[in-house]
Structure 1
Amino acid sequence: MAVQPAVYGASERPPRGDYTRAADDYTCAQNWAAYTAQDHDTYHRLYLRQCEQLPGLASAAFIAALPQLGAKERIPRFDDINERLYKATRWQLVAVPGLIPEVPFFQLLANRKFPVTDWIRRPEEFEYIVEPDVFHDLFGHVPLLFNPMLADYMQRYGEGGLKAARLGSCEMLARLYWYTIEFGLIRESAGLRAYGAGILSSHGELPYSVHSPEPQRLPLTLERTMRTRYKIDSYQQTYFVIDSFEQLFQLTEGDFTPLYERLRGLPEFAADERNP
């Protein structure tokens, strides 16, 4: 039976990507030869634009690891990155045709395999795209997979996700991923910085998340984070801040089952609801 794409959030069109190429675990070969000169140019221009504003906004660990992606003039071959990544943290990149369901996603992470969408946005989508593409996944996520603490956190998240799926608690755990790996902030000695991939790959949200007085920035706690809904089509109105990657890793220690049970009886917070 053919695998089916995942749909997250509201959308009037089906998910992009050729899922007929995918194996049962949703992975596929990166068809690097299919990228056009325009595709490589789009990646290059996105890369340069984001690099220009990283100083003073992105976490020091991200900036230090970014060169591990390799040449910025073209879309990298995943196999080339894997040679460096596996030596650093025993992680590997695998190509996927687009968004994939939660359980296969968790399974890949639990096995230290990070799914990377292999297509890139069209030139008219240069400013904004709803679904993650190869630039978002590579530029936003992969550099911090070279960080041992974040790499171990991601594996632990995958293992926890498989358990959450059995307990019917995926939505609560998805919020933790959203507000850390996608839209997390960290307080460093030089000030507030971004480490979330959704921020780091966004030209507009990177300065907004760090400097704008509009959103609230709360210390990360599991309960508040898991009770907070999120939006996929606007800048965040709530960010959660950690003091170190070690803190993030330690938060995932232990059994979440009692936490899930307790949270089911508590009201949720809207994405823009101010902390009382």
Structure 2
Amino acid sequence: MSVDLNDPGIDPFDVAKAAATVIAERTGAATHDVALVLGSGWGQTADLIGPTLATVDNADVPGFHAAAVAGHSGSMRSVAIGDTGRRALVYGTRTHFYEGRGVRAVVHAVRTAKAAGCSTIVLTNGCGGLNLAWGPGTPVLISDHINLTAASPLEGPTFVDLTDLYSARLRAIAHEVDPTLDEGIYVQFRGPHYETPAEVQMAKRMGGDLVGMSTTLEAIAARHVGLEVLGISLVTNLAAGISDQPLSHQEVIEAGQAAAERCGRLLADVVQRVA
């Protein structure tokens, strides 16, 4: 449902509450427990978490829009988390910063998740890897991030500690599910163009292990509203200059499809343990 979140007269948290109300009405669930934002390569995850109890078109929910990227779904789903009696709110797409809708739109799903009752959010993405050991299809836990967008979802004197932004507790649960998981630092660029080899080397020298175009702004907003955050990247390709292969979004989609079963099962097991 079209809402101009950039209008300074609109309180984005009021829009999030309105969105949560519509979600509750359409799904029949007064609250949800865990939210998942499915990035490139993670689209089949919801099917492995549990049965979908309701599907809501993004266009029917205040502040949300249709998917703008191939490989994403333009709807959100209310999914039963195994037999726990709890529900996951699964977003099939996200608003990317490069779409030009403004930072409020980028983090609207996060704020809506909190308004819908969630206490935990799982942020996933498809990304470029800087480690040669991480071939396409490798999931990597995000331990920290570097935000190179020159933007923040926080407005005014809103000072939020990001020291332990990506929950050590949730990462420990993920390691219990899959002890082979590595961790890395995610670097977000503005996009939508891919990074140059020089920019990738800059990110590497800054301490980065993964590069992409999402997640960091959402994670900051999640911390602000009190959500516990788990971040997982799917390495869909080696970053520019790390290999001699050209980059393409089709490669991202294909890598995600190839890794769908492993990544979906990983997330499903983690979500069930968290719930």
TM-score w.r.t. length of structure 2: 0.25
Larger RCO of the pair (alpha carbons < 8 Å, separation 6+): 2
TM-score w.r.t. length of structure 1: 0.25
Give the structure with the higher percent helix.
1
Give the structure with the higher percent strand.
2
